[in-house]
Structure 1
C-alpha cells in the first residue's frame, strides 16, 4: 500500500511510518524539520519518501505534492492525519493568542488542507482510508486545554461528517482518540522545552506509547474494506474520564 503520514519527525508519526515500512508498504512522510526528515530517510530506507512542509501552508503543500511521482498522489491508499500539537496549559484568560492560533492552524487547518488534497483521489478510485489522530481532549474538558481541546473536538466531528458525506463510497474514515501518551515530544512542546515539567506529567504512570497507537493504526489499515471503525478512544488503564472536579473556595 501507499501511505501518507503527516508529522513523522517524532512521536506517533515516526513510529507509524516505521511500522508501515516494516510491514512492506511505501510511506510518504511530512514534517517541518528537514534535518529530522533526512535522518528518518536514512533509518527507513528507499520506501520512505520525505516531504518537508508545514501542513498549515497550503501553497507549500501543493509544491511538495507536485514533487512526487505523477502517479503517487492519485494512488494513496491510507492517509494518516497525525500532525498536531498542544501549546501551553494556562487558563483561557491568561493564554497566549499566538499559541491558540498555532494550534488552530496545525490541528485543524493543516488537517483540512491535507484531507482536501487527498480525498478527491480516493473518491475517484472509490477506495481509501483516512485515519485522523484526535484526542480524548476533544471529548472531555480539562483545565488549560481550552483551544487544544476545541481543535481536537473539531477533528472528531470532522471525521464523523466525512463518514456522512462518503455514504455510498468505498472510502473509510476512522478517528483515533488517545488519552495520556508518553514517549513523545508532546509535553516538551506544550511546556516549550521545560523537560522537567514535561516529565512530571508521566511520573508513576504506565502511559500509552507511540507503539501502542501505531499498532492500532496498522490494525485499522488491515481491516476488511467492508468494515469501518468509526471511533476508537484509547486511554492507559491508569487514566479515566470519571470524577468531575469541584472547587470549594
Structure 2
C-alpha cells in the first residue's frame, strides 16, 4: 500500500488552487468475480503527484505545453493544431451522443486519436478540465489535450452521421474547432465475466462507487473517500460502472493481474456542465 503524504485537507486546499487557475486502444482481460475482487481490494486510486516542485506555476496547469505525456510521441498534441487522417472503427459498445471521431496523426501514423469537437460540445473543455485536475491531484486519469483546430483528411463535414471516408477531403482537410484529444491511461482494462441464466457469459465493464469500500487495509479508505468527494466536486453525474475503469498497469495475463492495479474515473466528459 502506497502511503500518502497529504492529509485530506491538504488535498482539497491544493484542489481549490487548481480549480481557480487559468483555465492504441488499451488491451483488456476478462475474468470472473472471484478473481476480480482481490484486484479491486488492493487497487490504488491515488499516488504522490510527481509534478510538484518549486518551479511549477499553477497558472500553467491547463497550458497545453505543460500537459502530462504518456510518451514522447504525444508532444505533437501540445501544439494547439494537428493534422490527422480519418480512421473508421466499428464501435464495440455504446457510444455517447456528443460529436466525436477517430483518426491517426499525419506526423505519427501509429498515434491513434479519439477526437471530440464542436462549440456546443461541453465535453471538449469539460473532459480536459476534469482529467487535468485528477492528474494534478495525483488521481489516475486519461490524458486529454485541448486543441484550437484538428484538420482531418478523409473526414466528412459531419463524421457523426457520415462515418465512411470522404474522398472530397483527401487533399484538403476538414477543420474542426475547437477540439480535444483523448489518450487512455496505459495498461490492460480488467473486465468482469458475468454468467447468464441461458448459460452464456456477459462481459461487464468498470466498477461502481460502492466498491470503493472494498479494501485490503482500512488506511486505503482515506484515498478512496477523497476520490468520492472529488467526483462530487467535479459534478461526475454520469457515474455508471462503464464510466470508471479498473486497470492492470503491469503483469496482466488471461488469468488476471499479478502487478499493480488502479481504479480510475474514465469518462469525465459530463463534468463541469459538459
Taking structure 1 as the reference length, the TM-score comes to 0.26
User: Larger relative CO (CA 8 A, sep 6+): 1 or 2?
Assistant: 2
Considering fraction of residues, name the structure with more helix. Answer: 1
In terms of Rg, which structure is larger?
Answer: 2
